[in-house]
Amino acid sequence: MSAEVIESRATATPVLPPLQIGRHTIESPVVLAPMAGITNRAFRRLCREYGSAGSQAGGANGASSLYVNEMVTSRALVERTPETMRLISHGPEEHPRSVQLYSVDPVTAGLAARMLVTEDRADHIDLNFGCPVPKVTRKGGGAALPWKTELFRGIVSAVVREAHPYNVPVTVKMRIGIDAEHTTYLDAGRIAEGEGAAAVALHGRTASQAYSGQADWSAIARLKEAVTTVPVLGNGDIWSAEDALEMVRRTGCDGVVVGRGCLGRPWLFTDLAAAFAGTTSRVQPGLREVTDTLRRHTAYLVDFYDGDELRACRDIRKHIAWYLKGFPAGSTVRNQLALVDSLQALDDLIGTMDLQAPWPGDPAEGQRGRAGSPRVVALPENWLSSRELNEAQRAQIAQAELSVSGG
């Protein structure tokens, strides 16, 4: 981080106060959204390094931001499947250690939370009620679940009950609802608040929208009006630090959750820390710094996969297009990078690129990741006929966690 950033931060006025999530003070009010296959220990480490650079420049004492791991299923966690145990692993420098749970059953959710807190595996638990993926909603989970009010209440209550004695805060991440005709976020926000959640986060889209169209930030503002005693966080279409500031201005939210916007640009957390500290300094890396970051990300993945270079390189492949967005890397090099199978092969390919290329500006900005298109949400039979579960639905969701990946 440059001296210019450090100097400008020293005299700036913060846009928001630090975010308080239970006992945790998050100096920069930013949360890394849990993303399947993305926010593993390696990527969190990279984002945290960039976020810490921004926060330390301003003299922050608490955690720079909150970095949440990718979703794991409560059932798989209770059964201690090896991949789930890898997914909830944290580096020694991570604090708070944050785990996101998926569950459709209060008992299993409570058992998973008990395991996390009694074995000192997490300092914060987030609950996933926002996933729009058909294999999740078809079983009544993710964004479909808050429609069943008492089931939602039961899961939140069970996890808070287990976590509270250990002073581990529980937060809830959700969507507006299933579709425009079946919204759930206001009821869910009030219930979560009443059951002891430490914060609620809203992605301003329905499950039907998936990631298409524009996020409805006005829903975040309405949730902020409805939930008055705990922080409300906004999520959706934050592609830059300026977007984050605009969301706060328009909604009054207490902090932001960033997902696809940081794909291939972990330095967004430096920008966000600077923006919320009240400065206009932004990171604009050239291709050399971008490829250095790509290389470091891959090395961190090798560590995450216990030295397995091939597995790490297979993992990094999906990130390459995001890292190179807007840069003049030819299709041949891009295609070869997408097949890389070792650190040496990665180094060799990077060495063929024009590393003097500067930050490309607008071509590197904007949307990242898949947007998709609106769709009819896959749901259990007769799911929308009542806000209560019937016996057939109870039997169906009892099997749901067995068939959802994420652990």
Each residue's pLDDT tens digit, 235-285: 999 999 999 999 999 999 999 999 999 999 999 999 999 999 999 989 999
Structure-model confidence comparison of residues 369 and 310, the more confident one? 310
Identify whether the C-beta of residue 30 lies closer than 8 Å to the C-beta of residue 255. yes
Q: Given this model, what pLDDT does residue 10 score?
A: 46
Q: Given this model, what pLDDT does residue 397 score?
A: 78
pLDDT score of 58 more than 90: no
Of 131, 253, 262, 313, catalytic: 131
In sequence order, the β-bridge partners of residue 68 are 98
Q: What predicted TM-score, i.e. pTM, was given to this entire model?
A: 0.93
Q: Given this model, what pLDDT does residue 5 score?
A: 44
Mean pLDDT computed over 42-68: 79
DSSP run (H or E) holding 19 = strand 19-21
**Could you please report the per-residue DSSP string of 141-156?**
-GGGGGGSHHHHHHHH
Catalytic (active site) residue 47: no
The pLDDT confidence band at residue 170, using thresholds 50, 70 and 90, is very high
Q: Given this model, what pLDDT does residue 178 score?
A: 98
CATH 1.10.1200 domain locations along the chain: 287-360
Per residue in 99-141, pLDDT (tens digit) is 999 999 999 999 999 999 999 999 999 999 999 999 999 999 9
What CATH number matches the domain at 3-283+371-403, 3.40.50.12240, 3.30.1330.30, 1.10.240.10, 3.20.20.70? 3.20.20.70
Residue 25: half-sphere exposure toward Cβ, Cα within 13 Å: 8
Mean pLDDT computed over 19-42: 96
CATH topology of domain 287-360: 1.10.1200
Report how far residue 209's alpha carbon sits from residue 217's, in angstroms, rounded to the nearest whole number: 14
Query: What share of the chain has pLDDT > 70, as a percent?
Result: 93
Report how far residue 362's alpha carbon sits from residue 29's, in angstroms, rounded to the nearest whole number: 26
Q: Given this model, what pLDDT does residue 2 score?
A: 39
CATH 3.20.20.70 domain locations along the chain: 3-283+371-403
Taking phi first (over 0 means left), then psi (-120 to 50 degrees means alpha), and beta for anything else, what does residue 291 get?
A: alpha
Characterize the bridge pairing of strands 98-102 and 72-73. Answer: parallel
The pLDDT confidence band at residue 326, using thresholds 50, 70 and 90, is very high
